[in-house]
Amino acid sequence: MKPRQEKLILELMYSFVVQKDVYPYYPTPWHYHPEYELVLVLKSTGQRTVGDSIERFSDGDLVFMGPNLPHAYQNDPGYYQKNSNLTAEAIVIHFKEDFLGRDFFNLPEMIYVKQLFDKARLGVKVLGKTREKIADMMQEMQSSGGHRRIILLLTILEMLSVSKEIRLLANSGFVQQAAVSADDRLAKVHEYIMENFKKDISLVDAAKVANMSVPSFCRFFKACTRKGFSTFLNEVRIGYARKLLLEDRYNIAQNCYESGFKNMSNFNRQFKKYTGESPSHYKQRVSQSINTSYS
């Protein structure tokens, strides 16, 4: 079976993805993507496939994978039972090699990290004390912002680059022959949304861009992004609203309409849903933080 390309959504305020996933079972099929990926299994058991490596995974499993390396996490049968109360939880980090600039990892100081990236082509399982320390840092990254996220990620990469507590997963003879059709469709939809999210965007319009029926598009989009279309669109709009609030260019009502929302009640509801606070509280907190930093 050919792997599907996946795309995790990058928030406008960040240069790489850090997200915690909580599902009844891991939903992602056999897939690949152009980003490096670090996956920490917080809770669940099952079978992990990385390239041609097939192993069991359980709580605490930590793997670092390179770009375009096909992989999948499949939970044990009990997770798929209709009345199961089991959950599959993980922290996932996605980043591209050029997220700090095209030549950053080509600096002489980064030679060991570059060697780590080469190993990641086959998948790297992290073990022992190294795993424990990195797991703690990944937990911290969830609640960190600004430069702290970048510092933590670079610390993780430095730690992995010199650790002896790692094991390669896939066979060196494994060659990825990635199909690009899914990539092309997803890229077109993503570009369409980013160009038009301030306007009305319907599910029908997005499906037309992908040249798919609405039901097929919904399944395709969720499999590739781990999110429904409306969830993704709202996250893009909220990310842009946070950027505008940070820049302090508009008042909150203007922010609502500039971000693609049609009324304040929905804007306030969605903003709190995705950030845990109201737009006014977010703006006040950010302003106080900035003033404190420069006082």
Which whole-number Å values give the CA distances from 181 to 14, 31, 211, in the listed order? 28, 13, 12
- Residue by residue, DSSP assigns 59-78 as TT-EEEE-TT--EEEEE-GG
pLDDT for residue 177 = 37
Q: Which CATH number fits domain 181-294: 3.20.20.140, 3.30.300.30, 1.10.3660.10, 1.10.10.60?
A: 1.10.10.60
Write down the CATH number for the domain with range 4-168: 2.60.120.10
170 with 53: CB under 8 angstroms?
A: yes
Q: Is residue 170 within 8 Å of 50, Cβ to Cβ?
A: yes
Q: Any bridge partners for residue 46, and if so which?
A: 57, 75
Phi-psi region of 63 (alpha: psi -120 to 50; beta: other; left: phi over 0): beta
Quote the pLDDT of residue 282.
81
Contact 16, 95 (CB under 8 A): yes
Q: By three-state DSSP, how is residue 178 classified?
A: coil
Mean pLDDT of each 10-residue bin along the chain, 295 residues long: 63 83 86 92 91 87 93 88 92 94 93 94 95 96 85 96 93 47 70 87 93 91 81 85 79 92 93 87 69 41
Asked, colleague to colleague, whether 4-168 and 181-294 share their fold, the answer is: no
- Provide the token pair at 141: 């990254």
Q: Which of helix, strand or coil describes residue 217?
A: helix
Please state, in angstroms and rounded to a whole number, the distance separating the CA atoms of residues 123 and 125. Answer: 7
- ∠ CA 147-152-154, rounded to 5°: 95
Residue 294: per-residue pLDDT: 37
Query: What residue has token string 């082509």?
Result: 121
- pLDDT, position 176: 38
Domain spans, the chain: 4-168, 181-294
Assign 43 to helix, strand or coil.
strand
